[in-house]
């Protein structure tokens, strides 16, 4: 626990880089006042998380208890504005396109996703309650120069991985060593994020449909809603067409390949 007047907060998502930041702090015995995670929802009322279910269950049942066993305080914050809130939100007369007035937002557009706000606003709200000066550590590896450049523009934000020259590969290896590598790094997924995100590859979407058909049915139900501003689920492509492509992928998948970090680790 930090003994001076400055608070040290690690932003944690369960991904390899933010988890490696916690591990690094544990190894170096650095002061950490809390580990902060923003939880996002697909449907908060029914308890359906937005994060990949396998990843989320790993966070709650494996990673969080282990970090707490190290003596860390893990704080989960969230927003009441889930995916269904944004999907069903009705455009008002302040809308630039008058044809969309009275229609629902519909599918959230990749790169302009309202879920980003649902993730960042709870963190901002929490930080406003911190009365002492504080430092926020983001999980950005030392070789992620573009992300680091954006982080450097933020006040009071640092990266422990940058400070100690820990690369993405090093972060992966650290998580593996401590048994804190999320199962999302199984070679089927290239990215962390929402299970319904349109930026996913067809392989990632196929994995969701196979492993969690009940979630895929949630999207099928939304595809029948009328009067939407956005009819395209993925880059303007309607959901039924995306679904057909996914079924074709499932019937004839390409050979499985190791992800970048697996291949480097086994070399």
* pLDDT recorded at residue 84: 97
Cα 148 to chain centroid distance, Å, stands at 18
Element (H, E) at 207: helix 202-211
- Residue 192 pLDDT > 80, yes or no? no
For the cut 80, the answer to whether the pLDDT of residue 111 exceeds it is no
State the residue range of the domain holding 161. Answer: 7-187+256-266
Average pLDDT on 10-30 reads: 97
**61 in a structural domain:** yes
- Whether 14 contacts 63, CB under 8 Å: yes
Examine residue 30 and state whether it is found in any structural domain, yes or no: yes
- Count of structural domains, the chain: 1
Split at pLDDT 50, 70, 90, the class of 189 is low
Cα–Cα distance measured from residue 32 to residue 122, given in angstroms and rounded to the nearest whole number: 20
- Cα–Cα separations (whole angstroms), residue 47 to 12, 22, 129: 21, 27, 26
Residue 178 sits in a domain of what CATH number? 3.40.50.620
Report how far residue 120's alpha carbon sits from residue 125's, in angstroms, rounded to the nearest whole number.
Answer: 9
The arithmetic mean of pLDDT across residues 73-101, rounded, is 89
**Residue 235 belongs to some domain of the structure:** no
pLDDT at 112: 74
Give me the pLDDT at residue 264, please.
54
Per-residue confidence (pLDDT) for residue 1, from 0 to 100: 43
Identify whether 34 is part of a domain: yes
pTM: 0.88
Q: Is residue 63 part of a domain?
A: yes
Gap between the Cα atoms of 153 and 148, Å rounded: 9
Flag whether 114 is in a domain: yes
Residue 209 in any domain: the answer is no
Residue 126 within any structural domain of the chain: yes
Counting residues of the chain whose pLDDT is more than 70, the rounded percentage is 90
């Amino acid at each position: 626990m930090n003994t001076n007047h400055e608070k040290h907060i690690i932003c944690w998502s369960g991904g390899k880089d933010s988890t490696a930041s916690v591990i690094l702090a544990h190894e170096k015995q650095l002061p950490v006042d809390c580990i902060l995670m923003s939880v996002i929802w697909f449907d908060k009322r029914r308890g359906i998380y937005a994060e990949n279910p396998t990843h989320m269950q790993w966070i709650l049942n494996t990673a969080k208890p282990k970090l707490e066993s190290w003596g860390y305080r893990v704080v989960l914050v969230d927003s009441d504005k889930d995916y269904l809130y944004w999907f069903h939100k009705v455009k008002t007369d302040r809308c630039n396109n008058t044809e969309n007035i009275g229609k629902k937002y519909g599918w959230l557009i990749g790169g302009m996703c309202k879920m980003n706000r649902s993730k960042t606003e709870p963190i901002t709200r929490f930080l406003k309650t911190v009365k002492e000066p504080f430092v926020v550590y983001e999980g950005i590896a030392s070789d992620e120069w573009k992300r680091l450049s954006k982080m450097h523009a933020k006040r009071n934000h640092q990266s422990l991985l940058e400070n100690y020259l820990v690369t993405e590969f090093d972060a992966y290896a650290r998580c593996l060593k401590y048994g804190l590598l999320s199962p999302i790094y199984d070679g089927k997924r290239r990215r962390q994020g929402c299970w319904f995100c349109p930026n996913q590859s067809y392989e990632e979407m196929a994995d969701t449909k196979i492993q969690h058909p009940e979630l895929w049915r949630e999207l099928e139900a939304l595809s029948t809603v009328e009067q939407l501003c956005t009819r395209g689920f993925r880059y303007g492509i309607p959901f039924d067409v995306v679904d057909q492509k996914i079924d074709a992928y499932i019937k004839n998948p390409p050979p499985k390949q190791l992800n970048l970090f697996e291949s480097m680790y086994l070399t």
